[in-house]
Amino acid sequence: MSFSRLMEKAQGYLPSEKMVVVEAAYNFALKAHQGQVRKSGKPYIEHPLQVALTLAELQLDASSLAAALLHDVVEICDIPISEVEAKFGSEVAKLVDGTTKLGKLSLKTSGGAAARQAQAENLRKMLVAMAEDLRVVFIKLADRLHNMRTLDALSLEKQRSIAQETLEIYAPLAHRLGIWELKWQLEDLSFRHLEPVKYRQIAKLVAARRAQRESFITQIIQTLSQEFERVGLKAEMSGRPKHIYSIYQKMERYSALGKHFDDIHDLLALRVLVGTVPDCYSAVGVIHSLWRPLPEEFDDFIANPKPNGYQSLHTAVMYQGTTPLEIQIRTRDMHYIAEYGVAAHWRYKEGEEKDIHFEERIAWLRQLIEWH
Ligand code: MN
């Protein structure tokens, strides 16, 4: 049952007094959605539970989890927002209200490509502008993610239009907010419904090369750990398989250039996590002295972070003189931001009052507005 999974996740980072509101919201939603079923035939409550679970994975605060559990009670069950406010307070009520209002926006599919693109851009702006509180956008993204996961229950036509909207609006929004963890899932799920044949082809290619890829990466990690150990550098390393949609985009770029997409190095990258910023530069030094770096492939996103806050060193080297290999080097803190982006600044941290991250959050919002 999803509720115990949610409780388990949330208890991992929320103190027990904060769990009270999460439990109360669950009980309220359970009663409100009683007898309702999703198109899939599953009890409706499964949906808000899954949305809350996604937010618990981002380690968002108790109000976000409560609002996620309650996000459809106004829209679907006709419960007045005043009742939500009376029971759960104004913070949770505002989040529920914001999410309900965002639900009313949608992409009009009429007009040409340019009109469509302009509309998509407008909608993205609106989503951000309307969300006085970015937690509303996180709820909306998690809501969309679960809807995408359960898309098979809808007609093919509906599947396609929802997948298209997700790829044009929600995935880019997750990207701008730097929430990689949601972005890649939204992209892959959309792609699976929009281009099922191509999706399966790539998934098969990835699966077929798995064993080869894993032994390749194990070998590289072994060599590198010896070198790091020699210079006293502590690092965690892992192979990072690319997600299906990013492989598809790379294939498209290759075919435009007349290149053939085939090699395993196109399917993976190595990730190196270290403790400090100086360690990042030491690690890249070790790597470059071991294998020849490819010209123009080195990017210092630590000194020059991406607009969404992403920081890392990127390089590509000629492994054993024959195989190009992409490598990302970052600290663990940078890694957290790389996975969860702006949501990391809304993360619940014990012992800290809500406005401690205020400055960080304002900086984020300012950046967002500047992009628009
Ligand atoms: Mn929903």
Q: What is the pLDDT at residue 105?
A: 64
Confidence of residue 309 (pLDDT cuts 50, 70, 90): confident
User: What would you report as the CA-atom Rg of the chain, rounded to the nearest whole angstrom?
Assistant: 22
Q: What is the pLDDT of residue 108?
A: 56
Q: Where are the alpha helices (DSSP H) in the chain?
A: 2-11, 16-32, 46-57, 62-70, 73-77, 81-102, 113-130, 134-149, 156-165, 171-176, 180-194, 196-208, 210-230, 244-256, 277-290, 332-340, 358-371
pLDDT (tens digit, 9 = 90+) per residue, 76-107?
999 999 999 999 999 999 999 988 887 766 65
Q: How far is the centre of ligand 1, averaged over its atoms, from the C-alpha of 147 (Å)?
A: 7
Whole-model pTM: value is 0.84
**258 pLDDT more than 90:** no
The Å distance, Cα 69 to ligand 1 centre, comes to 9
- Looking at residue 104, its pLDDT comes to 67
Question: Which tokens belong to 70?
Answer: 């309650």
Give, as one character, the DSSP assignment of residue 169.
I
Residue type, 350: E
pLDDT category of residue 215 using cuts at 50, 70 and 90: confident
Specify the DSSP class assigned to residue 60.
Answer: B
What is the whole-number distance in angstroms between the Cα of residue 16 and the centre of ligand 1?
27
For residues 120 and 98, is the Cβ–Cβ distance under 8 A?
Answer: no
pLDDT of residue 322: 78
The CA 54 to ligand 1 mean position distance, Å, reads 13
The per-residue pLDDT for 273 is 97
Instruction: Give mean pLDDT, residues 144-158.
Output: 94
What are the C-alpha distances in Å from 310 to residues 182, 238, 287? 15, 19, 22
Cα(24) to ligand 1 centroid in Å equals: 19
As a whole number, the mean pLDDT across the chain is 87
Structure tokens at 164: 């298209």
Band (158; pLDDT cuts 50, 70, 90) = very high
Q: What is the spatial distance between Cα 210 and Cα 219, in angstroms, rounded to a whole number?
A: 14
- Pairing state of beta strands 323-331 and 268-274? parallel
Closest CA to 14 of 60, 54, 53: 60
